[in-house]
Amino acid sequence: MSSNASPPPERAAPDFRTRDGFDAAMQGRRAECDGGKAIEGTHFAGRQQFAGTLTGQYRDFGDYPWRWYLMTDLTHKPEGYAHEAVWCDAGSLDFEGKE
């Protein structure tokens, strides 16, 4: 997952491609997602949990798309997380009401 306020990299790889889009089927869906964040001062990462509402906006990375969805209206986020939205890896989403 990635904060929506993450600064852009100073220099992106020459073949680094992104494509923004919108998926109406995902808009308004309640979901949870988890991901890792570096633990400052170490070579390790910890897990972070989020819950909120998907906007339907997505961003694909690379030629073989790695899709991330934008989640807002966060009802659960890590302590001290200062942002109002987060980008969640599509593979890390768990939808409410899913059996």
| 50 touches 1 (CB < 8 A) | yes
Reported as a single tens digit per residue, the pLDDT across 14-69 is 556 789 999 999 999 999 998 777 778 888 888 889 999 999 999 999 888 889 99
Buried b (16+ CB within 10 A) or exposed e, 35-63: beeeeeeeeeeeeeebbbbbbbbbbbeee
CA 37 to chain centre: 12
**Structure confidence at residue 46 (pLDDT):** 80
* pLDDT at residue 95 is higher than 70: yes
pLDDT band at 2 (very low <50, low <70, confident <90, very high): low
What distance in Å separates the CA atoms of residue 18 and residue 61, rounded to the nearest whole number?
5
**Structure confidence at residue 10 (pLDDT):** 64
Better-scored residue on pLDDT, 20 or 98? 20
